[in-house]
Amino acid sequence: MGVCITGIGIVSAIGMSVEENLNALREGKTGIGPLHYLRGTKAQLAGEVKASNDDLRASLGVGTGYVSRTSLLGLQAAREAWGDNKRSGVIRTGIISATSVGGMDRSEVFYKDYLAQNSPDYQLLTTHDSGSTTERIARELGITGYIDTLSTACSSGVNAIMLGARLILQGTLDRVLVGGSDALSGFTIDGFRSLMIYDDQWCRPFDDSRAGLNLGEGAGFLLLEGEKSLELTGNKPICNVSGWANAADAYHQTASSPDGKGATLAIQNAISRAGIGLDQISYVNAHGTGTKNNDHSESVALQNVFGDRVPPFSSTKAFTGHTLAAAGAIEAVFSVLAIQHNLIFPNLNYRTPIAETGLVPATRLETGAEVNAVLSNSFGFGGNNSSLVLTKYE
Amino acid sequence: MDSLKEDLKKQIIEQLNLEDLTAADIADDALLFNDQGIGLDSIDALELIVLLEKYHGIQLTNPEEGKEAFKSINTMAEYIRKRKAA
Amino acid sequence: MSKPALYISAASTISHQPTFRNAGFSETLGPVEASSALISPDYKAYIDAGLLRRMSKILRMSVACAKDCVEQAGSGQPDAIVVGTGLGCLQDTEKFLNTSLTVEGLLPPTSFIQSTHNTMAGQISLSLGNHGYNMTHTQNTLSFEHALLDAAMLLREGDRNVLVGAADEHIDILNDIAVQLAFEATAPLTSAASFFILSDEHTGNAAAALADLFTSGATDNAQEEIDAFLDRNGLQPGDIDLALYAGKPVSGVARNIDYLPLAGVYPTASAFAMHYAVDVLSENSKVRNVLICNTLRKSNLGLILLQAVEA
């Protein structure tokens, strides 16, 4: 039976729920645009969640103002994935979230006042550390015991899913809520601008003219259950988490290797862990950030693994923007939707293949083929490469 | 002695934390991005773009353009003079 | 009952105390002074100059300890690298935050790149040329315990040797924040890194065995969980020769030592305690069972059970 996904939740620039996200994906409607809620940044375009912190706090029933947007977004998605499930004294339940900025959205408010000596509010810093964002989500859901946070830059979300699956297989937990959350912040926008990979135009993943990414924000969560938990909850499995792998590129602090070494290892090991053939992968949800370097390196890795039979693939980042630590979790939810509804999502803003590799992504919503297994890639700074294989529940 | 080149060397050492080097250790024609030369990498290239703006008021928006300009101290000085004359 | 033991075949700590390459340090250690500073080795002996020039304190400490561990263990390339950090790369985070709020023009990217929590694990993989599993856990005061749990799982999944450790760095603003938030530190705030090689087999050089470990977040009954943990391992409190604790002493054990005055206060100080315990176990054959009980933050419980290696 392995590890089953029984609940999914998501909030992103294209919607506040699974249903809204699915509709936008079907309609090919991007959520990237000028920033409305986060003011004073230099970003022309970003994938902002269409709700203020006050809106989120009100709808989630969170009273305190000392809560990061990262926690609020995480809670929104975690609640949806958790659904009507109950706490249980018998089912050992844990939570693993992933974040790269933690409460930076609050910390930068503090630090600005601190520098200006303008009575800074030190209480804002109680939400700074990444672990506290997960502790907040756990508290709101009443989960105690195994509470953990991973932070491996842009691959964090997939790593949380992988860790959750391993904990269930080792018998440490019966059920675990896994995902990732990151809010937009001036810090990350300036950071990617300083790297000169923030595109002021719409990002164009896998296009020859691609010139960088647009940041986004959001959260994705999935409820994973093992056999014992399923027997007790009676939840209906949607998909299986079948394969996973993480590998280090060990090439450069930020850049991916031109031969795609780490990415190739991650993809190969994840598929081999899933125990299926290369030709059984129906769709690849690529990392595809829209930077020169990533999309080239990822294309090479796909060709390393699949040769000239690369499955239909697309990056959904032109819908959501690059949501950093949340990306792997958000895209895992998209992968579940692909399997559930037999869909292959379009790679928006694509025109011309990358000259060196010639790979052509799916550019239109495809509804005709059966989608039984999806490979989802997430690659991060420090050469942190992760891949996930989800399969139809049998 | 070319004062622009000497200034550049000092600025590079500071901007890139090249603690073990002095200006005298960097030859005008040493290849900055070669392991046999100074051994800089792509992060340093971005730091050099910041340096150009900070000390010389020159904006370089396309990192590709930097590849030619940042070959050596000679090419950097030449690039700065050309941009300033334009 | 617990799973088969794992072995600690190397340990390395850089801290405010003379811990680095100083076996037997546990016998002479006094409380860390408020005026103390990090005792740094010659980093050039461990880190390539091209990488070193950009590295903040936390990166230097971490990479040097990691390399030292790999050298001590002599088991070659580890199969995986797992790191825990409570607050991550504070020096670079503050630097970039400052730049981003004060500089109008282009921003230097280096401190942004090195502000992410996984910079230590990433730099270690680069320095070792390691392509294995590379993970970073950040769970407040339990960050190290979660890293150690992950490493233990990897060994049960078939890995042979895993490099696992923790690091946190102090920056000046932390003192100010501690005062403003009324955080009552029982010892000075410090920086440190501790790394270990955890192995599935005792190959002769292991200094201690990791018998079991456990974490519990948002806990309201630590005592009950400690009792249950010992019980699972077939032990009574009286069987524990030494408890190293942060927060509350463990009742019923032969001896209690508060490790915070020795390590100083930082979120992953339990990693310092683990090296201290390893040192005690290898120096003093009368000590058989050591329990590290971390309640640095009251609602977070971390338990690590170490045992002497049978000769």
Residue C1 lies in a domain: no
Torsion of CA A51, A56, A59, A64, to 10 degrees: -150
Q: Which chain C residue has the Cα nearest residue B52?
A: C106
pLDDT tens digits, A125-160: 999 999 999 999 999 999 999 999 999 999 999 999
Give the C-alpha separation, A264 to C126, whole Å: 17
Q: What is the CATH number of the domain that holds C259?
A: 3.40.47.10
Q: What is the 3-state secondary structure (H, E, C) of C108-135?
A: CCHHHHCCCCCHHHHHHHHHHCCCCEEE
Q: How many CA atoms lie within 13 A of A241 on its CB side?
A: 32
Question: Given C50, C107, C113, which is nearest B50 (Cβ)?
Answer: C107
Last residue of a domain, one of C199, C232, C249: C199
What DSSP character marks residue C285?
A: T
**How far is it between the farthest Cα atoms of chain A?**
61
- Any chain B CB within 8 A of the CB of A292? no
The reply to whether C42 and C101 lie within a common domain is yes
Which two three-digit tokens encode residue C33? 């002074």
Give the C-alpha separation, C127 to C121, whole Å: 10
The reply to whether C223 and C96 lie within a common domain is no
- Any chain A CB within 8 A of the CB of B39? no
Question: Given B19, B46, B49, which is nearest C53 (Cβ)?
Answer: B19
What are the start-end ranges of the E strands in A16-90?
Answer: none
Residue B2 binned pLDDT confidence (cut-offs 50, 70, 90): confident
Which two three-digit tokens encode residue A394? 């049998």
**Beta carbons of B43 and A194 less than 8 Å apart:** no
**Shortest CA distance to A170 belongs to which of A223, A131, A224?**
A224
The reply to whether C58 and C33 lie within a common domain is yes
Residue A92 binned pLDDT confidence (cut-offs 50, 70, 90): very high
Check if the beta carbon of residue A201 is closer than 8 Å to that of residue A244.
Answer: no
Q: Which of A60-69, A188-197, C199-208, C266-275 has the lowest mean pLDDT?
A: C199-208
Q: What is the pLDDT of residue C1?
A: 37
Give the C-alpha separation, B9 to C264, whole Å: 42
Q: What residues in B contact C108, CB-CB < 8 Å?
A: 15, 46-47, 50
Q: State mean pLDDT over A251-261.
A: 87
The reply to whether C217 and C159 lie within a common domain is no
Question: Given A102, A111, A250, which is nearest C125 (Cβ)?
Answer: A250
Q: Which domains does chain B have, with CATH numbers?
A: 3-85 (1.10.1200.10)
Question: A276 in helix, strand or coil?
Answer: coil
Q: Which chain C residue has the Cα nearest residue A193?
A: C107
How close, in Å, is residue A250 to chain B by CA atoms? 15
**Selected residue of B16, B40, B41, B61 to mutate for chain A interface (largest A Cβ count, 10 A):** B41
Q: What is the pLDDT of residue A270?
A: 98
- Any chain C CB within 8 A of the CB of A261? yes
Beta bridge partners of A283: A374
Q: Which domain holds residue C63?
A: 6-199
- Any chain C CB within 8 A of the CB of A149? yes
Angle between helices C269-283 and C143-156 in degrees, nearest 10: 60
Give the C-alpha separation, A196 to A205, whole Å: 16
**Beta carbons of A248 and C132 less than 8 Å apart:** yes
Last residue of a domain, one of C146, C166, C199: C199
Q: What residues in B contact C106, CB-CB < 8 Å?
A: 49-50, 53-54, 59
> Which residues, 6 or more positions from A108, have their beta carbon under 8 angstroms from its beta carbon?
A185, A186, A187, C97, C100, C101
Q: Tell me which residue has tokens 């719409």.
A: A202
Question: Given B42, B50, B61, which is nearest A255 (Cβ)?
Answer: B42
Give the C-alpha separation, C42 to C50, whole Å: 15
Q: What residues in C contact B47, CB-CB < 8 Å?
A: 108-110
The pair phi, psi for residue A186, each rounded to 5°, is: -60, -35
Q: What residues in B contact A252, CB-CB < 8 Å?
A: 41-42
Residue C160 lies in a domain: yes
The reply to whether C173 and C291 lie within a common domain is no
CB < 8 Å from C in window 24-63 of B = 39, 41, 43, 46-47, 49-50, 53-54, 59
The reply to whether C181 and C219 lie within a common domain is no
Q: Which chain B residue has the Cα nearest residue A253?
A: B43
**Beta carbons of C106 and B53 less than 8 Å apart:** yes
What DSSP character marks residue C309?
A: P
Which two three-digit tokens encode residue B48? 């050099």
CB < 8 Å from B in window 165-194 of A = 194
**C: neighbours with 3+ CB pairs under 8 Å?**
A, B
The reply to whether C11 and C116 lie within a common domain is yes
- Any chain C CB within 8 A of the CB of B64? no
Instruction: Label residues A160-185 b or e (16+ Cβ within 10 Å = b).
Output: bbbbbbbbbeeebbbbbbbbbbbbbb
Q: What residues in C contact A150, CB-CB < 8 Å?
A: 135-138
Give the C-alpha separation, A235 to A7, whole Å: 9
Q: What is the pLDDT of residue A227?
A: 97
Q: What is the pLDDT of residue A111?
A: 97
Question: A370 in helix, strand or coil?
Answer: coil
pTM of this structure: 0.97
Q: Which domains does chain A have, with CATH numbers?
A: 3-233 (3.40.47.10), 242-392 (3.40.47.10)
Give the C-alpha separation, B9 to A315, whole Å: 43
Q: Give the pLDDT of chain C (311 residues) as one tens digit per residue.
A: 356 789 999 999 999 999 999 999 999 999 999 999 999 999 999 998 888 999 999 999 999 999 999 999 999 999 999 999 999 999 999 999 999 999 989 999 999 999 999 999 999 999 999 999 999 999 999 999 999 999 999 999 999 999 999 999 999 999 999 999 998 888 999 999 999 999 999 888 888 999 999 999 998 889 999 999 999 999 999 999 999 999 999 999 999 999 999 999 999 999 999 999 999 999 999 999 999 999 999 999 999 999 999 75
- Any chain A CB within 8 A of the CB of B41? yes
Check if the beta carbon of residue A320 is closer than 8 Å to that of residue A184.
Answer: no
The reply to whether C191 and C256 lie within a common domain is no
Q: How many CA atoms lie within 13 A of C274 on its CB side?
A: 36
Which two three-digit tokens encode residue C207? 């200094």
**Shortest CA distance to A218 belongs to which of A289, A322, A338?**
A322
Q: What is the pLDDT of residue C36?
A: 96
Check if the beta carbon of residue C5 is closer than 8 Å to that of residue C211.
Answer: yes
Give the C-alpha separation, A75 to A291, whole Å: 30
Give how many domains chain C has, as a whole number: 2
Q: What residues in B contact C107, CB-CB < 8 Å?
A: 50
CB < 8 Å from A in window 254-293 of C = 267
Question: Given B39, B43, B53, which is nearest C113 (Cβ)?
Answer: B43
pLDDT at A190 over 50: yes
Q: What is the pLDDT of residue C311?
A: 58
Q: What percent of chain A has pLDDT over 90?
A: 94
pLDDT tens digits, A342-358: 999 999 999 999 999 99
Which two three-digit tokens encode residue A197? 């990979």
The reply to whether C185 and C257 lie within a common domain is no
Q: What is the pLDDT of residue C144?
A: 98
The reply to whether C89 and C231 lie within a common domain is no
pLDDT tens digits, A285-330: 999 999 999 999 999 999 999 999 999 999 999 999 999 999 999 9
Interface predicted TM-score of the whole assembly (ipTM), two decimals = 0.97
Show which residues on chain C lie within 8 Å of chain B, measured between beta carbons.
Answer: 49-50, 53-54, 105-110, 113
The reply to whether C292 and C257 lie within a common domain is yes
Give the C-alpha separation, C166 to C163, whole Å: 10
pLDDT at A209 over 50: yes
The reply to whether C81 and C217 lie within a common domain is no
Residue C32 lies in a domain: yes
Phi-psi map region of C308: left, alpha, beta (phi>0 left; psi -120 to 50 alpha): beta
Question: C244 in helix, strand or coil?
Answer: strand
Residue type, C196: F
